[in-house]
Structure 1
Amino acid sequence: ACLQSANHEVGTGQQLAAVAELCRAAGVPLLVDAAQSLGREPVPDGWSLLAGSAHKWGGPSGVGLLAVRKGVRFAAQGPADEREAGRAAGFENIPAIVAAAASLRAVRAEAAAESVRLRALVDRIRAAVPELVPDVEVVGDPVRRLPHLVTFSCLYVDGETLLHELDRAGFSVSSGSSCTSSTLTPSHVLRAMGVLSEGNVRVSLPNGTAEADVDRFLEVLPRVVAEVRQRLGAPVSPPRETAPAASLVVDALGKRCPIPVIELAKVIGEVPVGGTVTVLSDDEAARLDIPAWCAMREQEYVGEEPADRGAAHVVRRLS
């Protein structure tokens, strides 16, 4: 069995102790990916194998860690020779390994105090972002989570543009959004959670992050999001009042995240309460983002219907 100690995208901690007990009772070895946790907080006992990566705790890049508990049967899956008891071939990078161990020891000595400090900064971001930026969904467990990581999604925002503008302002963040150049499909994690994927921002605070850096990020973010929304023509005013049409069809075929949701938001006020809007879209992200928009806006997602191209997403206006 394999399990992350905490999810790399949203920071939610897994219930490792309970899983380890189930695996022990069933006689199944448990491999724990602790890359995000090592150097920040203790990893619960009970694992059979533990994996980590030195660059995550500030060590040298390219050095991985695999701890095999005594008594666990282990066989190398690749080439091997007499080194490392037949577990790895070739000559090890001893200087990098020593540096990785030394850096892990150093950060663990300060981990408890630094985790408390970073957790307070992340709590501030989690609370402030929805207050400063309209139409934002903060994702991940608010309590059972890593101390340094926070993820949120901004409605009506193109993820790639948002990351670019934040980078220009001096902030290096990442995204699980569907609207980035590397992928046109939403993160499998966000998809499984059923949360908004468009305009997704993952903020990871390195050790030593100053409170002033968080202050400036919270100062810059609302302006950047507003500018990106303006470029995309996102709605900035409440929906118009009831109009005679009982249903509308929005043709968003060929348009990518977040345009289908923006087009939906523009016209939802043109149908009466109880009326429907059908969004035609061939964007894979629409299957996730339109239901998420309905949940945020307290409208009803009726479902998806087949169409000649893509799919027809039906939304019923409730208010």
Structure 2
Amino acid sequence: MSGPLYIPVLPARQHATGAFGRLWPDVRAAIRPLWNLPPLPGAAPQTLTMAVGKYVDPVSAVSRHGGWIDAPFGEDAQIAALAEALSAYCEWGRLRPVTGPGRTGLQQMAAVETARRCRRGLGVRVRVPGEWDGRHREDVRGLLSRTGPEVPVDLLLDMGAVLDDRPDAGKEALRALDALMPLAVWRSAALLGGAFPRATAEMLEGGSCEGSRAEWRMWHEVRATGRAYAPLLRYGDYGVQPPSALGQDPAPGRKGGPPWSVLRYTTASSYLLFKTLTRGPDRIAVNRGAARRITRLPEFRGAGAGEGEAWLSDCANGPLSTGEGVGGPREWLRAGNLQHMMYVVRSLPGG
């Protein structure tokens, strides 16, 4: 079994593609993202090709080493048009199609046919948002029988949100893996989960808050079991956003939003969030102060650790007389993902 070191589950949005494209080349080469098309509510099938291109063109451009492209929020009436639009990025680009149990038969067969044509393989995404449902085993077995042994398959076991209120997530992942691993000669297998907290104003009343990297603990728990597949199991997370962020409607033209956001930093065991302001007379001072709090952490890895840390250092040391370099929500997300993905790869065996 082979595969990349790290599989981040990312939205096909500008902040994520921008961050991925700015990673150091050796780090980017170790990553194969699972890209997710956002919901396109009510989009007519005849307009989907243009809508898909808006989001997936940038994804394809930064995916020189490959990855997967999924449309998990596609409406039933959109499935055929989505499959056709995405197939071009698999046949002429380096992305791989995705399907899994719980999808419609039409979506499954479209993904399988695309995988056969592009000859780069098929991602089988199995979601386990709670307890493992043993019926998924037979669903996956049936999908694999329709796929055929000539198509390489990658198992993407997606545990969804893995917060401290799911202490048995590792056990459920083991139940799923024990059931699924014998079904195929998987080219690769990855355990995915997201523990980044959804920040609220109440959580940030003191200016900062902290969340546990429970998905990182889950992966280590599974790796420590001694299962034959455990040393080969790849790690994946949702970057520096909660899993629910993938399903946010792009809502073109929407303005406004809360007057605050966050800067993010990843340590060995925690996600650290520091409050920023999106508007108001104190915006520059508060935001540079938030960046300084990060750069003064004992865990801060230094401006030379990557572009994420470099941006944070520049922001922290900038003058209060100008907002240049302070950024906004998109830049803060990009910097957060940059430092996070760089750190995860460097933390993994072989990184």
TM over 0.5: no
TM range (shorter): under 0.3
- TM-score, scaled to structure 1: 0.25
* Structure with higher RCO (Cα < 8 A, 6+ apart): 2
- TM-score, scaled to structure 2: 0.24
Higher helix share: 2
